[in-house]
Structure 1
Amino acid sequence: MEQEYRRTKTTVSFIHYHFVFCPRYRRKVLVGKVEERFKRLVEDICQENNWIILATEVMPDHCHLFLNCLPSDSPSDMMAKVKGVTSRRLRQEFQHLSHLPSLWTRSFFVSTAGNVSSEIIKRYVESQKKRG
């Protein structure tokens, strides 16, 4: 995978988040036109917020998003935007989803990913004083 470093005036970063989130009650609603519309909405949200989609996969009952972002973007805020906008818009646009009070569960999984392991970083930090 090509490495995507983000640069601002004061920061160079390499932050990737892997998100997994599910519809309420793991309903299998992310199929057909709903899946297509969900993907377009996510692309629009990411573009508006300057997040780069590295990978995405939509299953009928859960989603995976792998995003590159800046350090100023918190995972909780990112999920709030993605889930808030997509829930509202999909329930407005698809009659069979309109009865749901919310499309998504309140929870989500997030992990970070990078180009080095935690063990390598730990050894690097611990060796700094020894390097002279």
Structure 2
Amino acid sequence: MPNEANHSPHSAHIINYHLVWIPRDRKRVLVGPVEARLKELLAGIATQYGVEILAVEVMSDHVHLFVSAPPKFSPAEIVRLFKGIPSRKLTKEFESLRCQYWGEHATLWAEGIT
């Protein structure tokens, strides 16, 4: 965890979030290629939106993500980014997830803030 504040033209901030979420029905689907792809997607989202991943741990049935984000994002926006984008992409890329979660348009994650 960084001890120094992040600086932008009009602010200095240290805003860290510890996010934890689970697949629907707490199924153990976050293994092998799904786990690797999820980590790639999380890293890509962080880069795209200027969020720093301080730690990530993908277990077979849950995800821990510790991030530092600029103040322009609300906590709900951070959660929406890191849950929504991977859910759509993973269910599109892995047929096994589509079968388990009743189609391409069903969400991969359990209900919560999205």
After TM superposition, is the score higher than 0.5?
yes
2:108 maps to 1:103: yes
Quote the offset at 1:74 in angstroms: 0.9
* Partner-residue secondary structure (3-state), 1:67: strand
Which string of whole-angstrom CA distances, capped at 9 and with x for unpartnered residues, describes residues 44-97 of structure 1? 001001000000000001000000011121111111111111011000110101
Quote the offset at 1:106 in angstroms: 2.1
Uncovered stretches (5+) of structure 1, i.e. residues with no partner: 109-132
Distance of 2:58 and 2:44 partners within structure 1: 16
Q: Aligned AA for 2:52?
A: I
Q: Aligned AA for 1:81?
A: L
Corresponding position of 2:72: 72
Q: Aligned AA for 2:26?
A: R
2:3 maps to 1:3: yes
* Partner-residue secondary structure (3-state), 2:56: strand
Quote the offset at 1:5 in angstroms: 2.1
Corresponding position of 1:25: 25
User: TM-score when scaled to structure 2?
Assistant: 0.89
Q: Aligned AA for 2:10?
A: T
8 Å CA contact 1:6, 1:69 repeated in 2: no
Quote the offset at 1:3 in angstroms: 2.2
Which string of whole-angstrom CA distances, capped at 9 and with x for unpartnered residues, describes residues 13-44 of structure 1? 01111000010010100000000000000000
Q: Aligned AA for 2:97?
A: L
Q: Aligned AA for 2:66?
A: F
Corresponding position of 1:89: 89
Quote the offset at 1:4 in angstroms: 4.5
CA RMSD of the aligned region, Å? 1.2
User: TM-score when scaled to structure 1?
Assistant: 0.78
Distance of 2:51 and 2:69 partners within structure 1: 5
